[in-house]
């Protein structure tokens, strides 16, 4: 099965899985209610979004300058900067640092960039123990799964699922409450923090003027992951830059509101290099790895460039009818939902992920919700155009659409095919993509136009 066929097969199964859909509906409804509350902190939300769009636009248009400014300032703070052109280089750099420090144990806070390079697999292959410390990530790691959502990795699990999982893996009672489950995870992780040689994080924002990385979280696990270990490695996509520390006043609340429905997440930390002499805790060495991995190609495309504004809040996933029907794992890529469907074909290649650009109803809900105003649904159309110009659509499909266009432009051609013929063609062409669980469209024997003519004696 090729990736597209696999996607269609899995989508069809997930769409018919009512239990899965109920869990998603429940979790997303709680999120949506929270977002409405979070938005109340703004007197002019639209202005905040427009400002955020403008700041990101300015940053991305001069990305090279801001990255160099960050590098200069971070080096001055005593940190070390490494540049990775792709996933392999990023993995090797991280492995190199860990080897240099004889690291055997790693604690990690939530980071989609590390998911993008499949870091855990690479570390485990070298015999390095990796522990995810974010509760959602801890749950999916325990279940042997990938994160399901950019912000809420275990969104597809109910509290009963988690209680069962903890019972099987950690030996806790099957009927533990969410509070008891959280305590069990905390208990399991406490010793990992203390033992860890290396702490790995992502970066929500790279702050150029102070030479620091900003991390936003709710559990304090990123702070713990960077306080105990002697070495802190942060992996960040090059697009995460903000020009100034002052921009955090706009972006931290915006990310919290759209990411989790909070006014501000509980812990917001700016890491500016290793611990100073005057500081009691913190790492002796801090590395920031600035990763390209396909981002420069996106940057080079003037129309597509705006996806680099993304702050990974996950809001577009939560409003997307496709995501809400098929769920995160079905996409088969690190980034799912509308933003994933736009960037994955460029990150993973058109063979692996090109079909995702077509996995959208183009309803525009993603564009409407995006806090930094990325024109997501039009970018999906743009991707489709790029792919088709690149020969993505097969000759059969092209012929069908050519014929379709001709027929749609000429009433006599449209009326030529009988209902029987239309039903036959529909089944033939959409046999796979329509899915088994949807009722097929039944075309009537005569078109509306023909019926009208019959009743009124003239064309409609």
Instruction: In angstroms, give the least distance from the CB of 431 to ligand SF4.
Output: 33
| Block residue for tokens 């989508």 | 11
Per CB under 6 A, 200 contacts ligand SF4 = no
Per CB under 6 A, 322 contacts ligand SF4 = no
Instruction: In angstroms, give the least distance from the CB of 254 to ligand SF4.
Output: 9
Give the residue, chosen from 67, 122, 165, 313, that forms a contact with ligand SF4 under the rule CB under 6 A: 313
- Span of 1-9, 13-21, 181-189, 366-374 interacting with ligand SF4 by CB under 6 A: 366-374
SS3 content of the chain, % helix, strand, coil (to 5): 55, 10, 35
Number of Cβ atoms within 10 Å of the Cβ of 242: 24
Pairing of β 129-132 and β 105-108? parallel
Q: Return d(Cα 172, Cα 149) in angstroms, integer.
A: 26
Judged by beta carbon, residue 128 or residue 370, the one nearer ligand SF4 is: 370
Number of Cβ atoms within 10 Å of the Cβ of 313: 25
Residues within window 404-443 making contact with ligand SF4, judged by CB under 6 A? none
Judged by beta carbon, residue 226 or residue 369, the one nearer ligand SF4 is: 369
- Phi then psi dihedrals of residue 183, to 5 deg: -65, -40
Per CB under 6 A, 371 contacts ligand SF4 = yes
Give the residue, chosen from 339, 356, 365, 386, that forms a contact with ligand SF4 under the rule CB under 6 A: 339
Chain mean position to CA 79: 28
Per CB under 6 A, 314 contacts ligand SF4 = yes
Per CB under 6 A, 108 contacts ligand SF4 = no
Chain mean position to CA 24: 16
Judged by beta carbon, residue 189 or residue 376, the one nearer ligand SF4 is: 376
DSSP 217-231: ESSSHHHHHHHSSSE
Per CB under 6 A, 315 contacts ligand SF4 = yes
Per CB under 6 A, 310 contacts ligand SF4 = yes
Instruction: In angstroms, give the least distance from the CB of 35 to ligand SF4.
Output: 11
Residues within window 243-262 making contact with ligand SF4, judged by CB under 6 A? 258
Both tokens assigned to 49: 């979004």
Per-residue exposure over 257-278, b if at least 16 CB sit within 10 Å of its own CB, e if not: bbbbbbeebeebbebbbbbeee
Per CB under 6 A, 370 contacts ligand SF4 = yes
- Span of 92-100, 313-321, 385-393, 411-419 interacting with ligand SF4 by CB under 6 A: 313-321
Per CB under 6 A, 242 contacts ligand SF4 = no
Give the residue, chosen from 35, 248, 311, 379, that forms a contact with ligand SF4 under the rule CB under 6 A: 311
Instruction: In angstroms, give the least distance from the CB of 309 to ligand SF4.
Output: 7
Judged by beta carbon, residue 90 or residue 342, the one nearer ligand SF4 is: 342
Q: Return d(Cα 442, Cα 89) in angstroms, integer.
A: 54
Q: Return d(Cα 375, Cα 36) in angstroms, integer.
A: 22
Q: Is 378 helix (H, G, I), strand (E, B) or coil?
A: helix
Distances (CA, A) of 267 to 90, 219, 277, 293, 311: 27, 7, 24, 29, 17
Judged by beta carbon, residue 68 or residue 381, the one nearer ligand SF4 is: 381
Judged by beta carbon, residue 56 or residue 223, the one nearer ligand SF4 is: 56
- Span of 40-48, 306-314, 348-356, 395-403 interacting with ligand SF4 by CB under 6 A: 306-314
Q: Return d(Cα 354, Cα 171) in angstroms, integer.
A: 43
Per CB under 6 A, 316 contacts ligand SF4 = yes
Q: Please report, as ranges, the residues that interact with ligand SF4 according to CB under 6 A.
A: 258, 310-316, 339, 369-372, 374, 376
């Amino acid at each position: 099965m090729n990736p597209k066929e696999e996607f269609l097969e899995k989508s069809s199964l997930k769409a018919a899985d009512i239990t899965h859909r109920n869990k998603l509906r429940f979790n997303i409804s709680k999120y949506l209610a929270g977002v409405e509350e979070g938005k109340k902190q703004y007197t002019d939300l639209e202005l905040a979004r427009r400002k955020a769009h403008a700041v990101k636009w300015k940053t991305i248009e001069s990305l090279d300058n801001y990255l160099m400014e960050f590098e200069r300032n971070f080096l001055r703070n005593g940190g070390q900067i490494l540049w990775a052109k792709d996933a392999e280089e990023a993995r090797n750099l991280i492995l190199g640092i860990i080897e240099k420090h004889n690291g055997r144990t790693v604690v990690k806070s939530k980071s989609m960039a590390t998911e993008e390079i499949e870091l855990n697999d690479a570390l485990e292959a070298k015999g390095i123990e990796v522990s995810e410390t974010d509760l959602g990530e801890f749950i999916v790691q325990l279940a042997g799964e990938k994160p399901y959502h950019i912000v809420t990795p275990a969104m597809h699990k109910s509290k009963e699922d988690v209680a069962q999982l903890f019972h099987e893996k950690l030996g806790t009672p099957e009927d533990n409450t969410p509070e008891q489950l959280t305590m069990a995870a905390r208990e399991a992780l406490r010793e990992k923090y203390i033992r860890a040689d290396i702490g790995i994080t992502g970066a929500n924002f790279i702050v150029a003027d102070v030479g620091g990385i900003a991390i936003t979280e709710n559990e304090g696990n990123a702070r713990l992951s960077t306080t105990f270990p002697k070495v802190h490695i942060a992996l960040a996509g090059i697009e995460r830059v903000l020009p100034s520390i002052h921009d955090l006043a706009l972006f931290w609340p915006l990310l919290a509101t759209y990411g989790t429905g909070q006014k501000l997440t509980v812990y917001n930390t700016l890491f500016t290099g290793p611990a100073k002499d005057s500081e009691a805790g913190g790492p002796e060495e801090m590395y920031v790895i600035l990763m390209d991995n396909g981002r420069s190609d996106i940057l080079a495309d003037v129309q597509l460039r705006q996806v680099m504004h993304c702050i990974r809040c996950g809001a577009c996933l939560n409003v997307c009818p496709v995501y809400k029907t098929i769920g995160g794992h079905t996409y088969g890529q690190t980034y799912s939902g509308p933003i994933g469907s736009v960037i994955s074909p460029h990150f993973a290649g058109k063979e692996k992920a090109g079909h995702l650009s077509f996995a959208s109803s183009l309803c525009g809900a993603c564009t409407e919700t995006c806090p930094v105003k990325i024109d997501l649904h039009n970018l999906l159309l743009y991707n489709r155009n790029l792919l088709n110009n690149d020969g993505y659509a097969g000759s059969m499909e092209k012929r069908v659409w050519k014929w379709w266009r001709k027929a749609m432009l000429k009433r006599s051609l449209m009326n030529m095919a009988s209902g029987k013929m239309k039903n036959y063609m529909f089944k033939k062409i959409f046999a796979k993509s329509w899915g088994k669980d949807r009722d097929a469209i039944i075309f009537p024997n005569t078109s509306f136009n023909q019926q009208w003519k019959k009743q009124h004696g003239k064309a409609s």
